[in-house]
Amino acid sequence: MGSILAGAQTTATKARGSFGTTNSLIKTFERTASGNGVTVKAARQSAIWTTANGVTWVEHSPGSPFRLYDVAFGNGVFVAVGNEGALVTSRDGAVWKVRNSGTDSRLRGIAFGKNLFVAVGHEGTIITSRDGVKWTARNSSTAARLQMVAFDRDKFVVVGWKGVILTSPTGTRWKIRSSGVSERLDGIVFRNGWFVASVTNRIVRVSTDSITWTEPELSRQKTPTIEVER
């Protein structure tokens, strides 16, 4: 597995480096999480898929009729989220239990860090939980659709429509950052010292600290497709 941003450097106006091709982010948005000896995938269906070897995938019913968009693992538990506030948990990826998320907003992303699950969705929704069972609503200070959340460098970063980027060191209190764009951001990953924000797998902003965001200077030369995992 390679890095999107191998050898990247910055200039005053654009971040320069080998950011990979458009296809290099596709696997990121299959939304997988690994733990307890299995990998779980949420693929925008009302089903969950698991694999123990990375080759053979097994379908499981999550017990919810709504499409699930993302999954995270932490504290020995998988948590998957989706439409209409759908939220389910499992320890083995096979047997799932429906939980009360406390919202009917469409949840789109979830991440785990600092002993905390953070889930995000439409209408600026952010909810947090330590065990995946009891959830607390947080103030995002935005009504934009929040599409994805990542945790790295000891902080959470959220992206959404209208170019919204939010950051938090705790997952409970959030600050809006200036992205310099108004596009519908739907992807955020951290690779090789960089946070990478994207729109439909197209990289549009990068940052080393999650505070200052810069337009990437993409190479015109073709680069190998790089598989990344979220």
Alpha-carbon dihedral sign for residues 71, 68, 123, 99: negative
Structural domains of the chain, with CATH: 6-217 (2.120.10.80)
pLDDT at 21: 45
For residue 223, the model assigns a pLDDT of 34
pLDDT of amino acid 217: 77
The per-residue pLDDT for 3 is 31
- Nearest Cα residue to 204 out of 159, 169, 167, 174: 159
Residue 43's pLDDT is: 83
Is the dihedral angle over the CA atoms 106, 122, 167, 213 positive or is it negative? Answer: positive
Largest alpha-carbon pair distance within the chain? 51
- Cα dihedral across residues 119, 121, 126, 132: positive or negative: negative
pLDDT at 114: 97
Task: In whole angstroms, give the CA distance from residue 104 to residue 37.
Answer: 32
87-90 vs 77-82, strand pairing mode: antiparallel
**Res 68: pLDDT:** 96
Q: What is the pLDDT of residue 164?
A: 98
Per-residue pLDDT, 125: 98
Digitized pLDDT (tens) for each residue of the chain, 230 residues in all: 333 333 333 333 555 544 444 444 444 456 899 999 999 999 888 899 999 999 999 999 999 999 999 999 999 999 999 999 999 999 999 999 999 999 999 999 999 999 999 999 999 999 999 999 999 999 999 999 999 999 998 999 999 999 999 999 999 999 999 999 999 999 999 988 889 999 987 899 999 999 999 998 764 433 333 333 33
AA letter at 12? A
